[in-house]
A and B are shown apart, each in its own frame.
Chain A
Amino acid sequence: MPSDLVYVYAILPAAVPVTVAGIDGRPLRFVHDDGLAAAVSDVPAAEFEEEPLNARVRDLSWLGPRAVAHETVNAELWSHSPASLPLAFGTVFRDDAGVRTLLQSQAVALQRQLTAVAGRAEWVVALHRAAAPSADALAQANEALSSLRAQIATSAPGRAHLLRRRLAELERETLRRLDAEAADALIGLLAGVADDVFREPLPADAVERPLARLSVLVAQSAEGALQQRLEQARTHWPEPTYQLQATGPWPPYRFGGLERGDG
């Protein structure tokens, strides 16, 4: 069994000069085939075989420096190349021949993706509800809440108790509707300046769930317009009820990358 595997950072139309090193400081090199170039470095099999990789990737002290190296390489490739497809962390091949097979077998799809992301960056925008809106704000959103409150005030204790439960339920419904509307409005706002918007699926067991998490593909020339839209969204949904977070520009990890190997 070989002691090294080949780690792929990204796929480019052609090699570009790079000054950074790969994971563990090992040198970057390029594997060519079919008019494409894969940026790779060698990694120890003892850490990057499937089993140890899956064990180690949960350990943030192991993952941290390697994820940083992955991103450092990709940021450099992205800024030096007209287009790049950054791959997910942990894309590992037995040898260069395996990388060449990938380039050959997916050449058409990879070329198409390179065209789609050329000159574009990825932004991650998350919408959170940081606090429950006030009773007044909810009442404004749903008139039925006010009339229900008035009814409770004039009802006998037993009936008032039942109505209060109905009120709580109606408040939750209204809140869910407001949340959904805020997310939809944000998506609409960003779609106007983006080439693509992808709503990220959220794990069901998340501790802290944003209302929406979006990957947004934006032409570098449209970055100013994106910032304006984000500012507009912030004004529209004043904190602390809704909060907007954005990071970027990222190399296009979401919109680039490999097709999922489901088959």
Chain B
Amino acid sequence: MAEAFRSVSAPDDDELTLLELADRLLNRGVVLSGEATISVAGVDLIYLGLNVVLTAVENLAGSKRGGDDAAAARDHGG
């Protein structure tokens, strides 16, 4: 695998935003649980928030691990 999560758009846009992440992770909307359906549908933040600049994921993750470690972890199995 090549470097993880490099963006191929504008150079100043090479950090994955929380919004992009949330978009990927939430887009199924509906998930299953043992007895009941847990719904995370109706979460409107995906596009409504696009005009807001959000913290890059690596910054959010910073307290747990560095960006380089994250990339290394992903490259590991590549």
Residue positions of A touching B, CB distance < 8 A: 19-20, 25, 50, 53-54, 57-58, 60, 63-65, 67-68, 70-72, 75-76, 79-80, 87-95, 97-98, 101-102, 121, 124, 200, 202-203, 205-209, 220, 223, 227, 230, 243-250, 253-254, 257-258, 260-262
Contacts and interface: CB of A to CB of B under 8 A. Distances in A.
Which of B5, B39, B47 has the most chain A CB atoms inside 10 A of its CB? Answer: B47
A88 B28 contact: yes
Contact of B33 (A76, A92, A124, A248): A92
A230 B13 CA distance: 16
Which of A71, A97, A102, A257 has the most chain B CB atoms inside 10 A of its CB? Answer: A71
A75 B4 contact: yes
A102 B31 CA distance: 12
Q: Is the interface of A mostly helix, strand, loop or mixed?
A: mixed
Nearest to B18: A64
26 contacts: A25-B64, A54-B39, A57-B43, A58-B43, A67-B25, A71-B57, A72-B65, A75-B73, A79-B73, A79-B75, A80-B76, A87-B31, A89-B25, A91-B31, A93-B34, A124-B20, A205-B48, A206-B50, A208-B50, A220-B1, A246-B7, A246-B8, A246-B9, A247-B9, A249-B1, A260-B30
Contacts of A58: 43, 45
A89 B49 CA distance: 18
B11 interface: no
Given A50-B39, A54-B40, A249-B1, 8 more contacts: A57-B26, A68-B57, A102-B32, A124-B20, A202-B47, A203-B46, A254-B24, A258-B28
Contact of A203 (B22, B28, B44): B44
Nearest to B42: A54
Contacts of B57: 68, 71
A220 B3 CA distance: 12
Task: Sort A-B residue pairs by CB-CB distance and give the 5 closest, nearest first.
Answer: A98-B34, A79-B77, A206-B47, A88-B28, A89-B25
A76 B18 contact: no
A168 to B, nearest CB: 27
B22 A50 contact: no
A262 B57 CA distance: 32
Contacts of A20: 73
Contacts of A203: 44, 46-48
A79 B25 contact: no
Which of A247, A249, A257 has the most chain B CB atoms inside 10 A of its CB? Answer: A247
A254 B24 CA distance: 7
B43 to A, nearest CB: 6
Nearest to B36: A50
